[in-house]
Amino acid sequence: MATTHLDTPNHPPQNTPERSRFARLIRELWFQVIIGAVAGIAVGIFLPDVGSALSPLNDWFIALVKMIVVPVVFCVVSLSIASMDNLRKAGRIGVKAIGYFLFLSLISMLFGLLVANIFRPGDGMNIDPSALDSSSLPVDENSSVSGIEFVNNLIPESLFGALTGHTILAALLVSIIFGAALNVSGEAGAPITKGINALSTVVLKIVSWVMRLAPIGTFGALAAVVANYGASTLQQLGYLILLFTATCVVYVIVILGGIARACGLRLWPLMKFLKAELLVALSTCSSEAILPQLIKKLEHLGVGNPVVGIVIPSGFSFNLDGSAVYLTMASLFLAQACGIDLSWQQQLIMVGIMMLTSKGTAGIAGGAFIVLASTITAVGHIPLAALALIVGIDRILNEGRVFINVLGNAMATIVIGKWENDFDTDRAQSVLNGEIDYDPNYDPDRTGDSTVAETSTDKTNARV
Q: What is the per-residue pLDDT across 306-326, written as a single tens digit (0 to 9) for each?
A: 899 889 988 887 888 888 899
Distance of CA 87 to CAs 80, 154, 177, 193, Å? 11, 21, 11, 16
Asked if residue 174 lies in contact with residue 163, where contact means CB atoms within 8 angstroms, the answer is yes
Cα–Cα distance between 407 and 104 in angstroms, integer?
13
CA proximity to 373, closest of 147, 144, 148, 145: 144
Q: Which class for 187: exposed (0-12), middle (13-18), buried (19 or more C-beta within 10 A)?
A: exposed
462/127 Cα distance (integer angstroms): 66
Cα–Cα distance measured from residue 38 to residue 364, given in angstroms and rounded to the nearest whole number:
30
Q: Residue 75 gets which letter from DSSP?
A: H
Q: What is the pLDDT of residues 86-102, one digit of tens each?
A: 778 888 998 999 999 99
pLDDT at site 441: 67
Burial class of 349 by CB neighbour count within 10 A (0 to 12, 13 to 18, 19+): middle
* CA dihedral (370, 375, 380, 381) positive or negative: negative
What radius of gyration do the chain's Cα atoms show?
Answer: 24
Report the candidate in 91, 93, 87, 88 with the shortest Cα–Cα distance to residue 184.
87
Dihedral of CA atoms 273, 292, 217, 63 in degrees, nearest 10, equals -170
pTM, two decimals, is 0.75
- Write down the pLDDT at residue 10: 47
CA distance 360 to 107: 19
Identify the pLDDT of residue 349. Answer: 86
Phi, psi of 223 (to 5 degrees): -60, -45
Nearest to 178 by CA among 198, 159, 151, 195: 159
Low-confidence ranges of the chain (pLDDT < 50): 1-12, 140-143, 145, 360, 362-363, 365, 447-464
Neighbours of 152 (CB within 10 A): 11
* Amino acid identity, position 92: R
Instruction: Write down the pLDDT at residue 147.
Output: 55
